[in-house]
Amino acid sequence: MALIELNGISRLYETGGETVAALNGVNLNIEAGELVLLLGPSGSGKTTLLNVISALDTPTEGSYFFDGQPVPTSKVEAMAKFRRKNVGYIFQFFNLLSDLTALENVMLVQEISGKRDKAAAMQALNSVGLEGLDFRFPSELSGGQQQRVAIARSLAKQPRILLGDEPTGNLDSETSAQVMIVLADACRRQGVTALVVTHDVALTKYATRVIKIDSGKIISDKMGGGGTIRGKATSVARDVARDVAQVTGEAVSKVKQVIDVVGNALAADE
């Protein structure tokens, strides 16, 4: 069962008398442990998709299941609770609280989740390479360091998924790479599924899966450079399944069975 299951998700907006479909019948399954990159031009719907997944926005149509359970879409407090329990979030401009130190930023989020643990907060900062910088305020840290604090902050509450909206958008390429490495490493170690929205194609090498979106629709869903053999095989199988689905529906299911067998065999070899 996929961790995130989106079926027929659409998000429509009324603007200037016209109806705009920011998302248009999106179907998407994300397995646990994946690091998914969501690529697309401005206005493609990638941020809207992120908002739906993080329960910040409510889809106009379709269903959204998280770990097999329907995600709340109407009650504000219920949606906040969902995020509190399951979602970590990192922002383009870091969004650290300037009145709190790096450690306190992490501990605040722990308090929000009811899991205040100073040692764990320190450990979280150490794990992202910020040993000895826990006492510093955001204004005393570089951009990369601030973003690492933001990653530590999000992971310190042990979320199921980590969402990032252009997390490297405000960083230079070198720092962006460092941050992505830290992010990927931290997610892998903690078993956190990550979904990152970005313009930067260069980051695809860190992702296990790269989804391209345009005009509210997924136009491509491929393996990323950071994937495992199993991941790659699954990705290939998925591509094949999609291509074959164009032929016949029955043939598709048979082919899928074949692919599952092949995939399991490959996994057994690993």
Partner 1 sequence: MRLQLLRVLRSQLSRPLMRWGIRLPFPNMLTCLFVFLIVFGAGFSLAMAEHTRNGGMVYDDFYEATNLADLSATSSGKAYPHDDMMAACDALADIRANTSHSITQCETRYLHKEKSPVMKENTTTEEMEEVLIPTTFHGIDISDGSFGHISTPWLVDDQNEDVVSRIPIIDSEVVIDWHVHLELDVSIGDEMEFIIKGERVSRTVVGYANQARHLYYVPDSTVVIPGEGEFVVVYMPMAGLLSDLGTDSQNRTMLLIDVNGTPDYDLQDTLIEEGPELREMQAELAAALNEQGVRNVRVEDRSGIWSVELLRQDIEGSKKSQPLFLGVLIGVSALTMAISLDRLVRRQSREIAVLASLGTPSSQILLSYLSVPLVLGIIGTSISIPFGWKMSEELTLWYFEFIGVPVVEIQHHNDLAAMTALLTMAILLIFGLYPAWRATRLNPLEVMRQQPGRPPSRMMATFTGMLPASISLGIRSTFRRPMRLGATVVGLGLAMVLVGGTMIMVSSMESWFSSSLKEAEQWDARVMFNPYDSDDVRQWADAANDSIEQEWVLAAPGNVSGDARTLWIFAMEDFSEDGVETMHASRLLEGRLPEPGAEVHEALVDHGVAKFIGVGVGDNLTVVVGVFPLEIQIVGIVDEMTRSVWLYYSDAAAPAEAADIMVHNILYLRGNLTDSGVEDIPGASVSYRQDSIDAFEKSWESQQIGFKIFLFIGWSIAIAVLLNTLMINLTEHDTEFATLRILGASSVRLSVILLVESIVIGLLGAVVGILASILTANAMMASFSTWAWTFPISADPMAVVLIGVYILVAAIVITPVGIWRIRRMDLVEKAKEYAD
Residues of this chain that interact with partner 1 (CB under 8 A) are 47, 51, 54, 56-57, 76-77, 80-85, 87-89, 91-101, 104-105, 107-109, 111-113, 116, 137-140, 146, 153-154, 157, 165
Give the whole-angstrom CA distance, residue 196 versus residue 204: 10
Residue 240: CB partners within 8 Å, gap ≥ 6? 255, 259
Identify which of residues 32 and 56 has a Cβ nearer to partner 1 in the complex.
56
Minimum separation from the CB atom of position 83 to partner 1 (A) = 4
Give the whole-angstrom CA distance, residue 8 versus residue 64: 9
Identify which of residues 81 and 189 has a Cβ nearer to partner 1 in the complex.
81
Identify which of residues 88 and 231 has a Cβ nearer to partner 1 in the complex.
88
Minimum separation from the CB atom of position 230 to partner 1 (A) = 32
Minimum separation from the CB atom of position 258 to partner 1 (A) = 43
Q: Which 8-state DSSP code applies to residue 121?
A: H
List the one residue out of 117, 120, 130, 119 whose CA is nearest residue 182.
Answer: 130
Identify which of residues 76 and 268 has a Cβ nearer to partner 1 in the complex.
76
Give the Å distances, CA to CA, from 216 to 5, 40, 90, 245.
17, 10, 23, 22
Identify which of residues 183 and 237 has a Cβ nearer to partner 1 in the complex.
183
Q: Which 8-state DSSP code applies to residue 93?
A: T
Q: Which 8-state DSSP code applies to residue 268?
A: H
Minimum separation from the CB atom of position 122 to partner 1 (A) = 14
Give the Å distances, CA to CA, from 123 to 40, 64, 186, 245.
35, 34, 12, 48
Quick one: the chain helix, strand, coil %, rounded to 5? 45, 25, 30
Identify which of residues 110 and 234 has a Cβ nearer to partner 1 in the complex.
110
Minimum separation from the CB atom of position 32 to partner 1 (A) = 20
Helix axes 76-86, 102-113, angle to 10 degrees: 120
Minimum separation from the CB atom of position 200 to partner 1 (A) = 18
Identify which of residues 165 and 226 has a Cβ nearer to partner 1 in the complex.
165
Minimum separation from the CB atom of position 160 to partner 1 (A) = 12
3-state secondary structure of 176: helix
CB-based contact 88:157 (threshold 8 Å): yes
67 token code pair: 């770990």
